[in-house]
């Protein structure tokens, strides 16, 4: 009996060791990406496509697992607690640097090691095509004369585009009336129906309507002009020193060996450059923007500071 | 006439071998995810999106759309057989469907669901073909104030949907409202009632509450029965009784048609349209029924109406998606993602830019609905036979299905605890005759009501006038007032009549 028990124990131990593959042979099994949101959202779609195109460069399958709940906090908490061996990654997106300021979370961006940034979505204000304001100066002039009268929809209280709209009004020295909606879709619907004056959003939200001539981009917050609309100037060209966008990349639990991160980074970079993925991204009007681990880490740190101030600002209201 | 011509070419697209196959695949998968408790169309569509990467956009959307409306067919099965809503739009079907099954009429109930769904699906597609653009524009007229007033109207009209004690119904509705406030505040983003628990930041999952209150409570309720009862089979249907009689069909036809109309209209309003459509249809059928006392005891209209309504709502939900590029209901949000990944960015120009896709998908819906009817009717005897399993074996299986089904929604353990807690709550509610339906309705409507209310006041800078200044909003508020005062008027009229009688 005792023999049997020790035999089983030994077997279990041996299996456990086999599970923890020796370093140097990374990857020995499939790599899992935790997405802290429900399937079907923008982050989910981008990283499912990236996972499909990266598998062949990594030599092992890349599997996507959705762990929704707690506005993303559940997935990040679980990823933070995963073994830092490179087999569990998480999609690091803007909310990672916002959530810790809104609620008491176990994690911040510093609980993770950056791997790669994949997407940088430009944020923008859209208005109806029949709006009186044809360009940014008129829009801001009206806003200055009528503080709080321009209603600006966003995709959710404390979400990325809400905070970006707040940051923009501070930079431009005006005051808008911010109306939160439950998602980008509902905010665009309200704009089309004329229930709000403008909407703060990120592509692909509203882009089809801009192309159809129903909506107009009145303020674009990216560094460079947007490929799809080369005629639309960014706000920096029009005298407002401001740019802000939302990024989506990959991170690993803190303490993942640097050489493993390097292997992952190289594979995902090739996956990003894969023609099939490039086409997928273009079809979704997703703006690919590569950044390596060091640079991505700096982006997260900078936004963490920035959002701390902005969240404090809305909590005052 | 134009539409007809396009539709004919759409059938050309939809009837290629490849597209027929994907339509069938979508219908089958949809039926399956509908049957499994917890796993609904949202998860089903999302999980199959990667499988469509290599397909062309039309085939992909034909299959994924099939999953959505297929789930509406499958959802009723577990509601009827074991009182577990297969997906959220089948909550109302539990009430009379399960009672029918207990009386040995599971077969007719299942068949009526399939027939009603087919009728609703086919008629609603006609609406989609001929009315899509004007209806989509009308939907845009609904801003926050209109939405608020509509929700108030829905809330007041539907909260006592199952009858019984009005006081108890209102208490349950308030409990639902309270549960709905858990999570991040929709305006400030501050956590509310989460007690520092990260897992509660996203709010309470509706599916967990629904399965707990109905399915788990049912199991608990049965578990305390004496052994002899548990040895019994629920029923042993005879073959003749598996399909509806002519009288059943006659009784349910009107309910199906009314449910179709209601569902089609409600599907155009942003929000959880199929769920609301089933509540509204049930309420309407009960109001106009010759024998309203049969509702809750196994009235076939109470099954036919809501099941038709959720199918119609699911078809008309494609209108805002295809015409505006905006998803009003969560499953269509996932379909939007699928369209994007296939390089189609739906918007006002979509029908003109991708006629093959739009008309092909619409035509495939006719084919899909026919496939679903043919698929579901032969399975009625098979499903009805599940009830031959003795209860002491069936009930643990139900529990297992509920647990695995719930976990599959979000892969999230806390959902399971919430479901079990709601099961215990549902058990107590049964003991003291409280209804679960008003609680679920409040849980769906509450957060949306709050957001619309606060959005409206933010737009008006705090002025309440916004609700009466806008005509559509005013109409809904007046209708709500009328509905509340109606019983009072009746009473006054009756007492006046009596007085007149005594005087003469």
For A193, what's the count of Cα atoms within 13 Å in the CB-facing half-sphere? 25
Q: Residue A150 CA to chain centroid, in angstroms?
A: 27
Q: What is the pTM of this model?
A: 0.80
Is A207 close to B199, i.e. CB distance below 8 A? no
Cβ neighbours, 10 Å, residue A130 = 9
pLDDT at B337: 79
Q: Which of A106, A158, A193 sits opposite B141 (nearest CB)?
A: A193
Q: Which tokens belong to A159? A: 């979400």
- Cβ–Cβ of A39/B334 closer than 8 Å? yes
Answer with the residue of higher pLDDT: A317 or A199. Answer: A199
Nearest to B46 among A40, A65, A195 (CB): A40
pLDDT tens across A282-294, in order?
A: 888 888 999 999 9
Nearest to B201 among A45, A73, A190 (CB): A73
For chain B, give the number of residues. 504
State yes or no: pLDDT of A7 exceeds 80: no
pLDDT value at residue B232: 62
Contact A179 B459 (CB under 8 A): yes
Q: Which candidate in A162, A193, A277 is best for mutational testing of the B interface (most B CBs within 10 A)?
A: A193
Q: In the CATH hierarchy, which top-level class contains the domain A124-238?
A: alpha beta
CA distance A45 to A22: 32
Beta strand A151-154 pairing with A177-180? parallel
- Is A182 at the interface with chain B, CB within 8 A? yes
**pLDDT on residue B364:** 93
Restricting to A residues 230-289, those with a Cβ less than 8 Å away from any Cβ of B are 279-280, 282-285
Strand partners, A112: A253
Using CA atoms, how far apart are residues B351 and B371, in angstroms rounded to an integer? 25
For residue A1, name the pLDDT band (cuts at 50, 70, 90).
Answer: very low
**A34 has a chain B CB within 8 A of its CB:** no
Cα separation of A216 and A134, whole Å? 9
Q: Measured between alpha carbons, how far is B211 from B238 in angstroms, rounded to an integer? A: 30
Can you give B82-96 as a three-state secondary structure string? HCCCCCHHHHHHHHH
Query: A6 pLDDT exceeds 60?
Result: no
Interchain contact B337–A (C-beta under 8 A): yes
Q: Give the angle B202-B205-B211 at the CA atoms, nearest 5°.
A: 170
Position with higher pLDDT, B234 vs B65:
B65
The CA distance from A13 to B327, in Å, is 51
Min Cα separation A181/chain B (Å): 8
Nearest C-alpha in B relative to A69: B202
Give the confidence band of A252 by pLDDT, cuts at 50, 70, 90. very high
Q: Does residue B384 have a pLDDT over 50?
A: yes
The minimal CB distance from B337 to the residues A40, A77, A151 is found for A40
Whether B144 and A40 lie within 8 Å, measured CB to CB: no
Query: What span, in angstroms and rounded, lies between the C-alpha atoms of B184 and B224?
Result: 39
**Side-by-side strand order, sheet with A215-220:** A177-180, A151-154, A198-201, A124-128, A215-220
Given the structure tokens 């524009």, which residue do they identify? B137
| B469 Cβ under 8 Å from any chain A Cβ | no
In chain A, the percentage of residues whose pLDDT exceeds 70 is 91
Note the Cα B119 to chain centre separation in Å: 16
> Which ranges constitute the DSSP H helices of chain A?
2-19, 42-58, 73-81, 99-102, 136-145, 160-172, 184-192, 207-211, 258-273, 275-283, 293-316
Which of the pair, B214 or B347, is modelled with greater confidence? Answer: B214
- All residues of chain B having their beta carbon less than 8 Å from the beta carbon of residue A48 are 49-50
Residue A149 binned pLDDT confidence (cut-offs 50, 70, 90): very high
Q: Which helix (H) or strand (E) holds A290?
A: strand A288-291
Contact B84, B423 (CB under 8 A): no
Q: Average pLDDT of A74-102?
A: 92
Per-residue pLDDT, B412: 79
pLDDT for the residue B236: 55
The residue ranking higher by pLDDT, B210 or A261, is A261
Contact with chain B for residue A42, Cβ under 8 A: yes
Average pLDDT over residues B283-298: 87
Would strands A124-128 and A245-253 be described as parallel, antiparallel, or unpaired? unpaired
Residues in chain A: 317
- Max CA separation in chain B (angstroms): 83
Contacts of A209 in chain B (CB under 8 A): 325, 347-348
pLDDT above 70 (res A22) = no
Q: What is the pLDDT of residue B234?
A: 57
**DSSP classification of residue B415:** H
Restricting to A residues 45-64, those with a Cβ less than 8 Å away from any Cβ of B are: 45, 48-49, 52
Q: Give residue B492's pLDDT.
A: 84
Q: In the block, which residue shows the tokens 């990120």?
A: A202
The rounded distance, in Å, linking the Cα atoms of B170 and B160 is 7
Q: What are the residue ranges of helices labelled H in B141-237?
A: 144-158, 166-180, 206-211, 217-223, 227-231
Q: What is the mean pLDDT of residues B45-74?
A: 86
- Whether the CB of A147 is below 8 Å from some CB of chain B: the reply is no
- Tell me whether residue B406 is exposed, middle or buried, using C-beta atoms within 10 angstroms of its C-beta: 0 to 12, 13 to 18, 19 or more: buried
Confidence of residue A12 (pLDDT cuts 50, 70, 90): very low
Identify the band that residue A24 occupies on the pLDDT scale cut at 50, 70 and 90.
low
- For residues B338 and B327, give the distance between their C-alpha atoms in angstroms, rounded to a whole number: 12
Rounded Cα distance between A116 and A100, Å, is: 21
Q: Determine whether the interchain pair A69/B412 forms a contact, defined as Cβ–Cβ distance below 8 Å.
A: yes
Is there a contact between A42 and B326 if contact means CB atoms under 8 Å apart? no
pLDDT band at A15 (very low <50, low <70, confident <90, very high): very low
Report the range of poorest mean pLDDT among A5-14, B197-206, B273-282: A5-14
The rounded distance, in Å, linking the Cα atoms of A38 and B68 is 17
Interval B419-471: pLDDT, tens? 999 999 999 998 998 988 889 888 888 888 888 899 999 999 888 999 999 98
C-alpha separations of B325 from A188, B451, B480 in Å: 10, 22, 32
Distances (CA, A) of B158 to A57, A73, A223, B276, B277: 56, 35, 51, 9, 11
Strand pairing report for A245-253 and A112-122: antiparallel
C-alpha B359/C-alpha B129 separation (Å) is 9
Name the strand (E) or helix (H) holding B7. Answer: helix B2-14
Q: How far is B273 from chain A (nearest CA, A)?
A: 15
A27-86 tens-digit pLDDT: 998 899 999 887 767 788 889 889 989 999 999 889 888 887 777 888 898 899 899 999
In this prediction, residue B239 carries a pLDDT of 59
> Residue A17 pLDDT > 50, yes or no?
no
The pLDDT of residue A261 is above 90: yes
Q: Quote the CA–CA distance of A66 and A62 in Å, as a whole number.
A: 13
Per-residue model confidence (pLDDT) at position A20: 44
What distance lies between CA A294 and its chain's CA centroid?
Answer: 18
- Helices A160-172 and A136-145, interaxial angle, to 10°? 80
Cα–Cα distance, B105 to B236 (Å, whole number): 10
Instruction: Single out the residue of A108, A71, A76, A74 nearest to residue A91, CA to CA.
Output: A76
Q: Tell me the CATH architecture of domain A29-121+245-316.
A: 3-Layer(aba) Sandwich (3.40)
CB nearest B187 (choices: A49, A180, A204): A180
Taking the C-alpha atoms of residue B482 and residue B498, their distance in angstroms, rounded to an integer, is 23
Break chain A into its structural domains and give their ranges: 29-121+245-316, 124-238
User: Which residue in this structure is represented by tokens 């399958």?
Assistant: A61
Calpha distance B68→B45 (Å, rounded): 7
In this predicted structure, what is the pLDDT of residue B427?
A: 94
**Sequence-distant (≥ 6) Cβ neighbours of residue B3 within 8 angstroms:** B129, B130
How many CA atoms, within 13 angstroms, populate the side-chain half-sphere of residue A258?
3
What mean pLDDT is reported for chain B?
A: 85
User: d(Cα A235, Cα A221) in Å, to the nearest integer?
Assistant: 6
- Higher model confidence: residue B233 or residue A259? A259
Determine contact: B142 vs chain A, CB below 8 A. Answer: yes
Half-sphere exposure of A22 (CA within 13 A, CB side): 2
Q: How far apart are CA B86 and CA B39, in angstroms?
A: 8
pLDDT at A21: 44
A177 touches chain B (CB under 8 A): yes
ipTM: 0.78
Structural contact between residues B180 and A182, judged by C-beta atoms closer than 8 angstroms? no
Respond yes or no on whether the N-terminal peptide bond of residue A204 is cis (omega within 30° of 0): yes
**Closest residue in chain A to residue B415, using alpha carbons only:** A69
User: Is B400 near chain A, with CB under 8 Å?
Assistant: no
Q: Which of B84, B101, B100, B74 lies closest to B387 in space, CA to CA? A: B101
What residues of chain A lie within 8 A of the CB of B457, using their CB?
A: none
> Does the CB of A224 have a partner CB in chain B at under 8 Å?
no
Cβ-based contacts of B143 with chain A (< 8 Å) = 190, 193-195
B318 with B338: CB under 8 angstroms? no
Q: CB contact, 8 Å: B342 with chain A? A: yes
């Amino acid at each position: 009996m005792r023999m049997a028990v020790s035999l089983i124990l030994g077997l279990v131990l041996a299996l456990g060791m086999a599970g923890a593959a020796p370093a140097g042979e990374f990857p020995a099994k499939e790599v899992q990406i935790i997405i802290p949101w429900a399937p079907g959202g923008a982050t989910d779609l981008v990283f499912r496509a990236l996972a499909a195109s990266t598998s062949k460069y990594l030599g092992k399958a890349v599997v996507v697992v959705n762990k929704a709940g707690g506005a993303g906090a559940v997935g990040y908490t679980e990823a933070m607690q995963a073994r830092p061996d490179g087999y569990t990654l998480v999609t690091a997106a803007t909310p990672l640097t916002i959530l810790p300021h809104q609620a008491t979370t176990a994690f911040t961006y510093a609980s993770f090691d950056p791997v790669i940034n994949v997407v940088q979505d430009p944020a923008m204000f859209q208005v109806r095509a029949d709006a009186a304001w044809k360009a940014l100066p008129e829009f801001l002039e009206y806003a200055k004369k009528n503080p709080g009268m321009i209603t600006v929809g966003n995709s959710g209280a404390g979400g990325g585009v809400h905070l970006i709209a707040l940051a923009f009004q501070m930079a431009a020295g005006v005051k808008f009336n911010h109306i939160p909606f439950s998602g980008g879709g509902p905010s665009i619907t309200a704009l089309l129906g004329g229930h709000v004056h403008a909407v703060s959003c990120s592509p692909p939200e509203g882009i089809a309507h801009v192309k159809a001539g129903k909506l107009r981009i009145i303020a674009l917050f990216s560094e460079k002009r947007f490929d799809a609309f080369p005629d639309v100037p960014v706000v920096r060209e029009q005298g407002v020193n401001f740019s802000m966008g939302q990024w989506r990349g990959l991170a690993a639990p803190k303490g993942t060996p640097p050489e493993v991160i390097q292997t992952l980074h190289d594979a995902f970079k090739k996956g990003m450059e894969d023609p099939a993925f490039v086409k997928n991204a273009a079809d979704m009007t997703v703006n690919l923007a590569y950044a390596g681990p060091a640079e991505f880490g700096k982006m997260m740190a900078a936004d963490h500071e920035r959002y701390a101030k902005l969240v404090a600002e809305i909590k005052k209201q | 006439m134009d539409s007809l011509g396009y539709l004919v070419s759409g059938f050309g697209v939809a009837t290629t071998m490849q597209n027929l196959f994907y339509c069938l695949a979508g219908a089958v998968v949809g039926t399956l995810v509908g049957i499994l408790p917890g796993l609904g169309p949202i998860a089903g569509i999302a999980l199959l999106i990667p499988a469509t990467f290599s397909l062309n956009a039309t085939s992909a959307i034909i299959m994924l759309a099939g999953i959505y409306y297929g789930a509406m067919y499958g959802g009723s099965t577990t509601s009827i057989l074991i009182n577990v809503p297969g997906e959220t739009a089948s909550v109302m079907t539990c009430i009379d469907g399960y009672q029918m099954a207990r009386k040995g009429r599971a077969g007719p109930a299942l068949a009526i669901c399939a027939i009603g769904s087919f009728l609703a699906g086919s008629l609603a597609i006609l609406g989609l073909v001929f009315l899509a653009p004007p209806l989509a524009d009308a939907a845009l007229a609904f801003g926050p104030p209109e939405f608020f007033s509509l929700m108030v109207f829905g809330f007041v009209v539907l909260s006592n949907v199952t009858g019984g004690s009005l006081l108890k119904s209102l208490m349950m509705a308030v409990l639902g409202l309270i549960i709905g406030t858990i999570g991040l505040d929709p305006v400030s983003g501050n956590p509310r009632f989460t007690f520092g628990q990260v897992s509660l930041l996203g709010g309470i999952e509706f599916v967990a509450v629904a399965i707990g209150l109905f399915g788990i409570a049912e199991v608990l309720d049965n578990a305390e029965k004496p052994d002899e009862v548990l040895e019994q089979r629920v029923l042993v249907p005879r073959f003749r009784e598996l399909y509806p009689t002519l009288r059943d069909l006659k009784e349910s036809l009107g309910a199906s048609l009314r449910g179709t109309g209601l569902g089609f209209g409600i599907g155009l309003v942003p929000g959880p349209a199929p769920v609301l459509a089933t509540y509204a249809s049930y309420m309407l059928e009960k109001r106009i029924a010759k024998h309203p006392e049969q509702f809750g005891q196994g009235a076939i209209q109470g099954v036919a109406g809501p099941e038709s309504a959720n199918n119609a709502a699911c078809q008309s939900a494609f209108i805002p998606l295809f015409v505006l590029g905006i998803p009003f209901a969560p499953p269509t949000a996932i379909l939007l993602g699928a369209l994007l990944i296939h390089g189609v960015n739906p918007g006002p120009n979509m029908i003109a830019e991708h006629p093959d896709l739009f008309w092909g998908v619409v035509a495939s819906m006719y084919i899909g609905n026919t496939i679903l009817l043919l698929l579901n009717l032969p399975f009625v005897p098979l499903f009805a036979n599940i009830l031959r399993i003795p209860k002491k074996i069936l009930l643990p299986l139900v529990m297992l299905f509920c647990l695995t089904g719930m976990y599959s929604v979000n892969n999230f353990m806390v959902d399971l605890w919430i479901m079990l807690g709601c099961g215990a709550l549902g058990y107590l509610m049964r003991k003291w005759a409280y209804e679960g339906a008003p609680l679920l309705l409040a849980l769906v409507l509450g957060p949306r009501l709050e957001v619309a209310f606060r959005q409206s006041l933010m737009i008006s800078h705090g002025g309440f006038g916004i609700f009466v200044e806008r005509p559509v909003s005013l109409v809904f508020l007046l209708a709500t007032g009328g509905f509340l005062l109606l019983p009072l008027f009746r009473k006054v009229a009756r007492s006046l009549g009596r007085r007149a009688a005594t005087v003469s």
